Amino acid sequence: MRIARTRLNRSLGGDLTLFLFLLAVACFMSLPLVYTISNAFKPLNELFLFPPRFLVRNPTLDNFRDLFIMLRSSWVPFTRYVYNSLVIALLGTGGHVLFASMAAYALSQFRFPGSRQFFNIVVFSLMFAPQVTTIPNYLIMARLKWVDSYLALIVPAWGMSLGLYLMKQFMDQIPKALLESARIDGASEWRIFWQIVMPTVRPAWLTLIILSFQQLWGQTGGRFLFSERLKPIPYALQQISSGGIARAGVAAAVGLIMMLVPVTVFLINQSNVVETMSTSGIRE
């Protein structure tokens, strides 16, 4: 922020050096973005060029045209895959942010029997390798008769440990006095949660939305979804890629389309993470 720049201990030279350093690292880090974008516009002969070339030389929209031709003939419309992914990502993220924030509020602002233990279990659960829980998970879904429905992907997302841990860490920083004064004024816990706590930890849930959306958007649903009309877009991408050489161009185009959605979510949320003057006054 501009205000930060005018502080005493900043020099123009130092700022410039650091910025150039950042820019250099940023170029190195952005390779995959550049590669995905450039691939989507490569004609087939460049996609299979040997030795491979990083950047596109004769950009073309052929891949997108092929994609639309293929879409017209596909069994399930392509938009259906997009819709499925959106349903899973939106409902999953919405519920996750809501329930995790509520639980984080309880654990952060109250000491009650079991609170400390529950929080420890949540943190520990982040460290268990998910590869071995697939079978018990499947059995639970089968028992609930949720196999082959969105529920199998959406509902577990509501109880992911990451969101609770993230929200709790941010809520721990809210000064207790702020909430106490609201309680004295007779505000209900529900109102305190919505009108004081959530606006204060806005950077936290904006970040959580990015993380959760991105994770759910990438779900292939392989273990739980079997009907073609329920499958999400990463699954469609896998299918197209397995079409081999004939489908490589289309796969590159889908890869770009698939990446654009989380990138959009990212940019919208990330530019809002910055605390505005109106909300910063809430802090101690």
Partner 1 sequence: MRVSSTEITPSASVPAPRSRWFTGLWKEIKANRDAYLFLAPFAIIFIAFTVLPVVTSIVLSFTDCNMLEPPKWVGWQNYTRLFLVDDVFLIAVKNTLVYAIVTGPLSYIACLLFAWLINELRPKLRAFMTLLFYAPSISGNAFLIWTIIFSGDAYGYMNGLLLRFGIINEPVQWLQDTRFITPIVILVVLWMSLGTSFLVFIAGLQGIDKTLYEAGAIDGIRNRWQELWYITLPSMKPQLMFGAVMSITQSFTASEHAIALAGFPSTDYAARTVVTHLIDYGNVRFEMGYAAAIATVLFLAMILTQRLVQKWLRNLG
Q: Which of 6, 58, 79, 129 binds partner 1 (CB under 8 A)?
A: 129
Cis omega (within 30 of 0) on the bond before 51? Answer: yes
Which region among 65-73, 79-87, 219-227, 269-277 touches partner 1 (by CB under 8 A)? 269-277
**Looking at beta carbons only, is 11 or 73 nearer to partner 1?**
11
DSSP label at 274? S
Side-chain half-sphere CA neighbours of 255 within 13 A: 21
CA angle (104 as vertex; 101, 109 as ends), nearest 5: 125
How is residue 179 written in tokens? 């909430």
Side-chain half-sphere CA neighbours of 203 within 13 A: 10
Q: Is residue 161 part of the contact set for partner 1 (CB under 8 A)?
A: yes
Q: Work out the burial of residue 124: count CB atoms within 10 Å of its CB; fewer than 13 is exposed, 13-18 middle, 19 or more buried.
A: exposed
CB 208 within 8 A of CB 273: no
How is residue 9 written in tokens? 């201990």
Q: Is residue 169 part of the contact set for partner 1 (CB under 8 A)?
A: yes
Which region among 56-64, 83-91, 161-169, 243-251 touches partner 1 (by CB under 8 A)? 161-169
**Looking at beta carbons only, is 71 or 102 nearer to partner 1?**
102
> For the chain, how many helices (H) and strands (E)?
17, 0
Q: Which of 79, 131, 227, 278 binds partner 1 (CB under 8 A)?
A: 131
CA–CA gap between residue 34 and residue 43 (Å, rounded): 16
How is residue 61 written in tokens? 């929209």
Q: Which of 16, 48, 69, 115 binds partner 1 (CB under 8 A)?
A: 115
**Interface map 205-224 toward partner 1 (x if CB under 8 A):** -xx--xx--x---x------
Q: Is residue 55 part of the contact set for partner 1 (CB under 8 A)?
A: no
**Looking at beta carbons only, is 69 or 274 nearer to partner 1?**
274
CA–CA gap between residue 36 and residue 92 (Å, rounded): 27
**Looking at beta carbons only, is 83 or 118 nearer to partner 1?**
118
Q: Which of 16, 55, 246, 267 binds partner 1 (CB under 8 A)?
A: 267
By CB under 8 A, the residues from 78 to 107 that bind partner 1 are 99-100, 102-103, 105-107
Residues in the chain: 284
- Least separation, in Å, of the C-beta of 72 and partner 1? 26
Q: Which of 40, 47, 67, 204 binds partner 1 (CB under 8 A)?
A: 204
**Looking at beta carbons only, is 72 or 143 nearer to partner 1?**
143
Count residues binding partner 1 (CB under 8 A): 101
By CB under 8 A, the residues from 175 to 194 that bind partner 1 are 189, 193
CA–CA gap between residue 233 and residue 87 (Å, rounded): 11
By CB under 8 A, the residues from 240 to 259 that bind partner 1 are 255, 258-259
Q: Is residue 195 part of the contact set for partner 1 (CB under 8 A)?
A: no
CA–CA gap between residue 51 and residue 62 (Å, rounded): 22
